[in-house]
Structure formats: structure tokens, C-alpha cells
Structure 1
Amino acid sequence: MGLFRKKGVKATEDSGEVMVSTRELTGRPAVVFYCLCIVASVFHILTNTVWLMPEIHRNALHFAFFVPLAFMIYPFSAKSLDKKPYVDWFLAVLSIICGLYLVFFEDALHARNEQMIELDIFFAGLTLLLMLEIARRAAGKIIPLLAVFFLSYALYWGQFLSGNWNFPGVTISRVLYRMYFAPDGIFGSIATISASYVFLFVLFGSFLVKSGAGDFIIKLAISVVGRSVGGPAKMAVFSSGLMGSVSGSAVANTVSTGSITIPMMKRTGFSPKFAAAVEAAASTGGQIMPPIMGAGAFVMAQWTQISYLKIVAISFIPAILYFVSVIFFVHSRARSEGLQPTAEEDIPRFFDVLKEGWPFFIPIGVLITLMSIGYTPTFAACCAIAAIVGASWMTKNHRMGLMDIVDALALGGKNMVATAIILLCSGVVIGIVLLVSLGVKFSMLISTVAGSSLLVTIGLVGVASLILGMGLPVTASYIILATLSAPFLVNLIKLRYVMAVNPQFVESMGLSLDMISDPTAAGALFAIINTQVPTEHATIFLLAAHLLIFWYSQSANVTPPVCLAAYTAAGIAKSDPFQTGIHAFKLASGLFIIPIMFVYEPAILFLGPLWQTVLTIGIILLALFCTAVSLEGVYIRKLHPLLRIAFGGTAILLYILPELQCWIGVGIFATLTALLKYTSAFDMDEQLEESALTEAA
């Protein structure tokens, strides 16, 4: 049952991606925790397949499983790690009672026409307090502080604000009803996503890990790219992409693959900070890599009503572009430092690795096939979990026995604890945001600052994502930012489309872009604009906005001053954390650039003819390559600063993507390539030799 961490260690939860203290469980508490994790996993499998019950009851039991588990492993503070956790056990029991109370007494509330009695108010208030406290322990202070901020706005100080931000206030009983019994509170839609899609895919990842798929992925990556220049770093990118398709967590990827790839990169000749930055940047892509993409993708599917399969299918190419952009940086750095490929004796033969581990592709195939033919993601995930067990018996060294299956069930429950707490507490924030219409108010704030400028709006979303990401886990950051900014961003994308197709439309309807700053007028403007957007385009624009926010929510993993994936990698590499973060930010530049293409060139999301999508992808790849060349300063040979600037300008021309600028950029790239290959102009090596001779003389 080796599922527990050492006492007093500052740990980073794989799902939550926040630095928190965890308690070592030994003896009877460890057995109880282990058994509860198994029961939780079995319960969620059954309630998502054959055991049907009202969603709010299942969500309340979801709370009754994971909040007690969280109280068992997350102490009040780091100082209380060594103290007997009697209070925490008491709070765990209270949490169970709070979840069960809703299950047994909800019908009585409906029989009273939703009139809450004192006991209802007591348990609703207690549940809210327990939720805020365990969120503080498991996910840091920011989420509960946000919840308290919004709650206090709705209950009290909103009435003292003027203008658009004024809110007259609601009673405490009304708020508690919305938080406890209504479908948009703690046990609402976000809890539904947590108790179904998210949990089953976390469990799916746990089964893959226990089956030995992680070892197979590492070996496969070494066999594919080990012989190329900078092979270990490229292997880190490759393996992190594959692992990310399973775990959907940047920090989990960094820990699992980085412990192998970072030492290999250092032995090859990469500096510790660059090796750590490569792993952090590559692991950040785990959250955007299909088929799992982290918990946020399931929230996205629920909110947009776009099928999860479609989101996964459309996200695949952009995710590949991101990983390729990281490889461009790695290759340039390896060339600049004259690094050699991995030693031949350290590289396993590709076909030997494939022969040993090919059965691990079967569960992924089952998952994708079932979703493709119309089955729900939950059913597909359950079948894929069963397929993992069957596939393991087709390998020689990783056959899962009964105890392996039980351990996988326990690991799935344990890995879900932090994610469940984050999502349940996010329900508090979302419930209040909906209650007081903060999404509309925030959209109006953006419109006041950005006006009708789509690029400025994207910039504001990016800044907001960085600020939120400093204290929030990725999933919570996406949920809050999407709630507040997605509707306005979608409307601006539609407006841009209509203005491109029919530039005179707004004026012909007697409208003006200045109307955007007025809430009432903006509503009328966007309502008319929506009638001019075809349904297929509207769906892609909605998805483009949410994907942009989803990608930007990952940026905090690699953006100083708070970048957990980079700091985690720096700990493995024994490098300076801040310097590692700076390098990771540069290597992950595609994370900031590619989402803009979702909005400005939706052909990348397969909107339009296939030839246009292929051409767009090719141009973006070339632009990403020019970006890496400009920042790293190596292409064919070391580049003169003027040539680095020229490649940077070429990248900008390519990113713009209208036909004329695009082909001008291609022409400049071809010219610069010929100049470097066939002439000695701007040769940095020759200039360095002349400088050395001059100094010697």
C-alpha cells in the first residue's frame, strides 16, 4: 500500500498542482484511508454504469468520500504534522454526515416547497465551512479566499457599490440554499463533472501507471529520438506528450518523466537549468494533450455542449504543434553546444520495445473507438479500464493480478482527492458568480478597457490567467476565467467574422462598434451579429474561445515568479528555480502563440476546406521554427544578431497569415536559408576568430 508520503515533506499533489503539506498515514489510519479509496473507486464505477441515482445524491456522496479523505491527509498546517489528528478525524466524520444529510432529507425539503428549516440551514452552513477549510488545506488559500470574497459581495458589500457593480444583496438562507440544495452550488454541475468524467479518467490513468505503461512510454521515446542530436531532451518532450495523454497533469509529468530524462539530459551536456526547463515546458503540454487533457476539458465539454470527442479530435493537432515547437528549441540548443546523440548502447531497439509493450495501445484504442461510435466518455473510460487489465496479460512482465487491481483502485481514489476538492470548491465560486451575474459585469469591464479590439481582449485574458495561476490550480483557473470572460470573447470573435465577411454590415444595420461599452446596447449588437454566423462557425468560435482560455490557464506552470512545473523540475535538476522558470517560459512560447491562431485563423481547428487547414498548419510550423531560431540564435550556424532579428520579423509575418504577408515571410525565410547555407555573410565564427586575433595582436 505504498501510497503515502513521508512525514513533514512539502508535497505537490499531482492533480492540484499546489504546494501543500501532507500527513504520513501509518497503522490503522493508513488501512482506513486505503480501504476508503478502494470503496470510492468502486462506488464511482458503479454509479456511472449500472447503479443509477439522482445526480445531486451521487454528488453529495462524492463529497462524503473525498472531503473525509482530504481531512485525513491534509493537516491544519505544517506545524501540526506531528500532532495527533483527532480534530481532523472529527471533521472527516462531520463531512460524511453532511453529505448523507442531503441524500436522506432532500425530499423533505421539496415536500415543504423548498422552505428550509433550522436543521437544513445548519447542515448547509456546516458543509460550506468544511468545504472552504479543506480547500484551504488541499489547494492553498486562493480558492477559499475567492469564495469568501464572492460570498461577502453577494451578502453584504455589493450594495455599497455603484453603477454596474451594485448588487442589492441576498439573505444568508438564500445563499445557503443555492450552495447546498441547488444545481449550481457545491453539489451542482461542477460536482457532476468531478464525480463522473474526471474521476473515471483519473482512475484510467492510475490503472495505466500500475500496468507498467509509463515504463513502456519512456522506452519508446528513447528508441524513437535517442539517436538524434539532443536526443534525451527530445525524448523528454516525446515521453511527456505520451504521459500527458494519460495523466493530464504538468507536475505529475515532471515528476514521473523528469526523474529519468533530466539526469540523461545533464549527462549529454545540457545545463541543469535548460534540462529542467525542457522537462517543465514539455510536461506543461500534458494538460493540452488528448485524449484526457486534464479535468478542464470535461468542464469545457459540459459548458459548451460540444462533445468531448470533438474537443479531443480538434485539440490533437494544436497539441502536436506545441510539442514540435519545444523540439525546435531543443534542437537549436543542441546544435549550438555541439552535443552528440545518446550512446548507441543506451538506446533500446524500437521494434523490441514495441513488441514488448504494444498491448498498452489497446486501452487507448478502446477509449477512442467507443467515443467515436457514440458511447459516453464515462462508459468508454470504464471499458478502457477493463481493457488495461486484459492488455496487461498480453505482456510478459506487467500482468496485473488481483492485488495490482486493488492497488490501482486505491491509487485512483488517492489521486482524485485534490482534484475533487478543487472542483467542489469551484462550485461555490461559480454558484455565486451566477447568482450575482458577475460574468456579465466582468465582460463589461473587459469591454470598457479593450473596446472592440480582439487582440487587446486576448491580452487581458492572458494577464488574468497569469495572475490567477499564481495561486490557483490549472483547472480552477480555467473554470473561473471561462465563467467571467468566455461569453464576451466569443461575441468578439463572431463580430470579427461578420466584419470580415461583410465589412459594411454593422453600419448598414444602423449600429456602431462604440455600442460595446454600453451593456444594453452591446447585448442588442451581439444579438444581431449572432444571426449572421452559421451554426458550424458558431460552434468552432465557441470552442476557440474556451480552448484559448484553457491553454492560457496552463501558462502559470512555466511563467515566473510562480511556476510549479519549472520549480519541480529545478528540484530534480538541482538548478536555480527562477532561472529555470525563465528558460521554461521561453521554451513554452508556443503556449502563448498557438491559441491566438485558434481565434484569428480557425482553419487550424478544421474550420474550412482541408487544404486550407494543411496550409495553415504548415505556415504555423514554419513561424514557430523561426521563433525558436530567433530566440536561440542558431540555424545552420550561429547567427549574427541582425539575422536573429530578421528571423523574428519573418516569424511575425508568418503569424499574421493573410496571403500576401504569409508568402513574403516564406520568401524571406528561403532567402535567409540560402544566405546562411551558401555564403559566409554574417558568419559569427569568423568574426569571433578575427576578434581573438586582434586581441592577441
Structure 2
Amino acid sequence: FEDALHARNEVPILRDLIFAGLAVILILEVTRRTTGWLIPALAGFFISYALFLGKVFPGVWSFSGVTIERLLYRMYFAPDGLFGTIATISSTFVFLFVLFAAFLLKSGAGEFIIKLAVSLLGHTTGGPAKMAVFASGFMGSISGSAVANTVGTGSITIPMMKRMGFKPQFAGGVEAAASTGGQLMPPIMGAGAFIMAQWTQISYLKIIGVAFIPAVMYFLSVAFFIHLRAKKKGLKPLPKEDLPKVTEVLKEGWNFFIPIGVLMYFLIKGNTPTYAASMGIISIVIASWFNKGTRMGPKDILDALALGAQNMVSTGVILLCSGIVVGIVLMVGMGIKFSMLISTIAGGSLFITIVLVALASLILGMGLPVTASYIVLAVLAAPSIEMLMLKDHLIANFGLTAQQALDPNIVNNMIGLIPKEVSEGSLLAAHLLIFWYSQDANVTPPVCLAAYTASGIAGSDPLKTGLESWKLAKGLYLIPIMFIYDPAILFQGPLIRTFENIITGTVGLFVFASFFEGYYFRIINWVERIILAVTAVLLFWPERLTNIGGIILVVLMWIYCTKIKAKKTEEIPA
């Protein structure tokens, strides 16, 4: 077919255009049946913009339009259309990792993870809620879906949290926040991570390597809220004698670590993600036979194949339909136009740009799945963030004015002159921020699917559960700001600065949670909470001097709350 097209000098004939039109219509309809109207409607808007709607827009947004023949050719035959990069990623990397996850779940890994969480954390303060964080982190990195993760682990952890004394809406909020974080945890971070690797030309291994520490910090931030709430309410941990022993649980399921090890081994060795995932799938079947209770027979293998195919259907059609949007955005140059608009509104401010991206992500997330939201935002907004991160470097090293450093055309022409570690670090940080923010619709009202799913299990008010999950997931917003302003947390720059950022950032998240909960080793008043808020800002600020000031305030507040204030409380007569 390609040879015939080349022989015609890339000029499609009527038959080609008919098949192209049918393909577009069928993909839009399959997407509608799978995910609803919003994604096809968005694709329809971009198609209309390219054909005729662009003519009615004023100024920079005006577009003269293309013929239907040209548009169909771009969507069906071009490498940035329906069957271009995104479709290739979907049918190779994404499918094999979805299949890997399906085999792991069918082999019994889900039950093992929950048992391990119970044995490790059940006896700690707020144990059942921390178990949800641990289990959801691991399950989410396998399942790739916050809603599926909420159902899978929440059906066990939410009732346990309620029995311990947590309110239903808090229990549901914990599960939703933890399940959302599962998409951020390597080694499987969802379809968006593979698209990120392809678009940025940064290896998937490097992406999951730099994403690990921020993901751990996110789960710690959720655990901090749980710990403080349990302390504040005086909730007791589960008796240790009632819990399974860690050694017994590991003895039953140690073989589940083998496939993860195999996957990471081949990735580190330099093999492609598809090869690594294939070897991982084979190792799951082999490793399952090391334990009598987890052995996978022919029926289990067929069930895993069916589960993987079912899970891939919705992801696949979303990615194909997103290919329409991406192809048209690239064709009409909308990415550059959007970058210029953001730069104008934000006035060159990186922080305001991040806020605008967060708002856009929330609005898109009300109707778009996480992966589609990431794709749309990445193609539109990532260049703006990257450009603002590079602004100071361009001004200092190339003598550009601030206005020139924010001109997309000038920046694109100079990318090759910028040191690779600087340009690559900015590119990766920008895409990771959008990837993180594209998850926020799972936990942010008014539309928060993971929270609403958890509220159904918890028997709580959906809006209250959504508000709790939004509060618990504050790390989702704060951590990306940390690595945008100082990419050291992504292992960009001196290693000593990376460790400093991890420590101050983690302590800052604890202080921030204490401010929200009103508990810092004891119940605190509003004046003390304001001091903690200032302390958190100092710890998050990307300067060593302010970080030191924040640490000093942390220690002083600890002395005051545990020694001085405690002594005053004891001296008050009964």
C-alpha cells in the first residue's frame, strides 16, 4: 500500500479517501460507545477548526482552513495522524504492559499486596488507612487505572478504616487519593508515560527512574495526613497478634517479586520496553509455579489474555481518537499559538503558567480520561513550561532579552545550542508536571471519579468524599512545583542538592499536613498553624538559605509543642 501511494507521489485517490473517512467515523463512534461523547466531540471541534471554523476566529487563532481531502490524508496517512506515533505506542508498549498487569493480577498478586500491607502497617497508628496507601501504590502501578484500583483495594481497606474509627468520607478519600497516586508509581505508570517517552525521546527507564522519588513523596504526604488524623482522634492501631506475620506473607508470595525484577533487569540492560514486558509476562507464568497456591494453568493464561484485551480496548480507542486531535494541532500550529497565549496571560510568570495549566487540566479532566487529558495538555502547554524554565539560561548565556527568550520560534531554533542536560531536564520536568496534573480530576470536585467510586464503597456523601480526597492529595499539586523550580529532585544537578531537596520537601509535606489537620505532636491553635504554613513555604522554596530557616522553625515548633506547651498544659489546675 505504501509503495502504491509513493508511486502516485503521495496523492490519494478516491478509494483512499473513502477508507480514510470511514476509519475516522468508525473510530469516533467506537470511542463514543466506550468512553462517552466528550472525546469524540473534542475531536469533532478540531476537525471543524481545520476545515472551516478557524476562519471565524480572530487574530492569531485565525486559520484559513484546508480541504477535506488534505485533512483526510493527514489523519489517515501521515505519521502524526490516526496510525502514527500514538497508535504505534498503543499497539506495542502500552498493550504489552497492560497484558503484563493482567497476568500479574490473574496470578494472585493483588491478594498478596493487600496481605503484605496488612502485615507491615496494620499495627501502626492509622494502620488500615496506611495499608490502603501501601496497597494502592503497588496495585495502581500494576493496574494503571485509579478507578479500578479504588474498587480492587477499597473493597477491603475502606471497611477496615471505618471499623477503626475513621469517618466514611475520610476512608473513601484516603482510598481515592492513594489510588490516584498509583498512576505515578513506577515501573508501570499508565499509557501517558510511554507517550511521554516517545514525544520527549527520553528513555522509559530514565522516566521511571526520576519519577520514583516524587511518587514516594506523594504517598508519604497522604500517609502524613492519615497519621495526624489518627493521632488527633486518638485512634488505636490494630493488635499486632491479630495480624499475619510478614515472614509468613512473604513465604506465600515471594515469587511475585520475580516478574518485577525481570522487567527491571531487561530495562536496565538496555532492551526495549516491549521486549522487557514480554520477558516479564513469560516470567509471571514460570514464577507462578514456584508456589502451589499461585500456579497458572492454561485456563488462567487464557483468562489473563482476555483481561488484558478487555482492559486495552478503552485505552486503545482513546489513544486513537487522541491521535486525531494531536495531528490537527500539529498541522494548524495550535501548539505555538497556545504557548504564546499562556505566555501573554501569565506575563512571563512560571508560577501563573503552572496555575493556568492546573486549571486547564482540571477542566479537561471533568470529561476526558487521564491519558487523553495528558496528551491534549502536553501538545498544547508543555512548550510554554519548558520555555519559561529555559528563560533564565537563554538570557544569561545567549544575551537574549526576556521577550526574545519567550518567543517559541527563537527558542525552538536555539534548542540545539543549549546543553543537553539543561534542555532535557526542562523538557522532562514540564511533561512530568502535566502528567501529574492530569491525574487531579480523579480527586478534585465537582467531577472526581475515583472519589465518587470510593464513596459508593464507603457509603458516604460523594461531595464530602471528594473534598477529603482533594485535601489528602495536596502532594499532587505541590511536588510538581518543587521539581519545576528546582529539578534536582529529578536527579538533575548535584547529588547533594537532590538529597537536600528530598529531605526538605518531605519535611515540608509533613508540616503542610500538620497545618491542614491542626495537629503538630499535639492539637495546635490558629496562630501556631500560621507559623507552620510559613515554615512549609520556607521548606518548599528552592533556596538553601530559606530551607535552613524552615528546618530551624520545624525544630523550634517541635520543642514548643512537645516541651513548653506540654508543660504549661500540665501546670493548669484541674
The residue aligned with 1:568 is 453
How far did 1:179 drift?
A: 1.3
The residue aligned with 1:547 is 432
Paired residues for 1:104-503 under 5 Å: 105-498=1-394, 502=396
Q: Within 2, Cα distance between the matches of 1:561 and 1:682?
A: 45
**Structure 1 letter corresponding to 2:162:** K
Paired residues for 1:50-61 under 5 Å: none
8 Å CA contact 2:387, 2:411 repeated in 1: no
For the pair 1:523 / 2:409, whether they are aligned, the reply is yes
Change (3 A) 1:115 1:526: closer
How far did 1:346 drift?
A: 3.6
The residue aligned with 1:642 is 527
The residue aligned with 1:537 is 422
**Structure 1 letter corresponding to 2:403:** D
8 Å CA contact 2:103, 2:305 repeated in 1: yes
Q: Within 2, Cα distance between the matches of 1:437 and 1:574?
A: 48
Cα deviation code 1:293-330 (max 9, x no counterpart) = 00000000000000000000110010000000000000
Q: Within 2, Cα distance between the matches of 1:128 and 1:118?
A: 15
Cα deviation code 1:345-403 (max 9, x no counterpart) = 44110001011101100000000000101100000000000000011001121100011
The residue aligned with 1:600 is 485
Cα deviation code 1:5-36 (max 9, x no counterpart) = xxxxxxxxxxxxxxxxxxxxxxxxxxxxxxxx
Q: Within 1, Cα distance between the matches of 2:69 and 2:133?
A: 52
Q: Within 1, Cα distance between the matches of 2:339 and 2:248?
A: 55
Q: Within 1, Cα distance between the matches of 2:386 and 2:514?
A: 34
**Structure 2 letter corresponding to 1:344:** K
8 Å CA contact 1:232, 1:261 repeated in 2: yes
For normalisation by structure 2, the TM-score amounts to 0.97
Cα deviation code 1:518-568 (max 9, x no counterpart) = x5xx5336645x466421122111100000000000011100000001001
How far did 1:418 drift?
A: 0.4
How far did 1:516 drift?
A: 6.0
8 Å CA contact 2:391, 2:402 repeated in 1: no
Paired residues for 1:4-83 under 5 Å: none
Q: Within 2, Cα distance between the matches of 1:209 and 1:483?
A: 33
**Structure 1 letter corresponding to 2:359:** V
**Structure 2 letter corresponding to 1:616:** N
The residue aligned with 1:579 is 464
How far did 1:112 drift?
A: 2.4
For normalisation by structure 1, the TM-score amounts to 0.80
Change (3 A) 1:569 1:680: same
Change (3 A) 1:532 1:660: farther
Q: Within 1, Cα distance between the matches of 2:455 and 2:464?
A: 9
8 Å CA contact 1:277, 1:566 repeated in 2: yes
8 Å CA contact 1:216, 1:353 repeated in 2: yes
Which range moves more in the overlay, 164-173 or 618-627?
Answer: 164-173
Change (3 A) 1:567 1:686: farther
How far did 1:161 drift?
A: 2.7
8 Å CA contact 1:494, 1:533 repeated in 2: no
Q: Within 2, Cα distance between the matches of 1:346 and 1:533?
A: 59
Q: Within 1, Cα distance between the matches of 2:4 and 2:171?
A: 60
Q: Within 2, Cα distance between the matches of 1:266 and 1:686?
A: 36
**Structure 2 letter corresponding to 1:493:** M
8 Å CA contact 2:119, 2:246 repeated in 1: yes
For the pair 1:632 / 2:517, whether they are aligned, the reply is yes
How far did 1:108 drift?
A: 3.3
How far did 1:683 drift?
A: 7.4
Change (3 A) 1:497 1:334: farther
8 Å CA contact 1:144, 1:425 repeated in 2: yes
8 Å CA contact 1:639, 1:684 repeated in 2: no
Q: Within 2, Cα distance between the matches of 1:600 and 1:297?
A: 21
Which range moves more in the overlay, 117-126 or 564-573?
Answer: 117-126
**Structure 2 letter corresponding to 1:513:** A
For the pair 1:663 / 2:559, whether they are aligned, the reply is no
Q: Within 2, Cα distance between the matches of 1:525 and 1:423?
A: 29
Which of 642, 645, 652 is equivalent to 2:537?
Answer: 652
How far did 1:451 drift?
A: 2.3
Segments of structure 1 that go 5 or more residues without pairing to the other structure are 1-104, 691-697
Q: Within 1, Cα distance between the matches of 2:570 and 2:326?
A: 58
**Structure 2 letter corresponding to 1:129:** I
How far did 1:177 drift?
A: 1.1
Q: Which structure has the larger Rg over C-alpha atoms? A: 1
Task: Count matched residues.
Answer: 574
How far did 1:344 drift?
A: 3.1
Change (3 A) 1:498 1:175: closer
How far did 1:127 drift?
A: 1.1
Q: CA RMSD in A?
A: 1.8
Secondary structure at the counterpart of residue 461 of structure 1: helix
For the pair 1:615 / 2:500, whether they are aligned, the reply is yes
Q: Within 1, Cα distance between the matches of 2:241 and 2:252?
A: 19
The residue aligned with 2:474 is 589
8 Å CA contact 1:451, 1:516 repeated in 2: no
How far did 1:649 drift?
A: 1.1
For the pair 1:512 / 2:401, whether they are aligned, the reply is yes
8 Å CA contact 2:391, 2:405 repeated in 1: no
Secondary structure at the counterpart of residue 238 of structure 2: coil
Q: Within 1, Cα distance between the matches of 2:2 and 2:389?
A: 43
**Structure 2 letter corresponding to 1:239:** A
8 Å CA contact 1:277, 1:583 repeated in 2: yes
8 Å CA contact 1:222, 1:348 repeated in 2: yes
8 Å CA contact 1:491, 1:526 repeated in 2: no
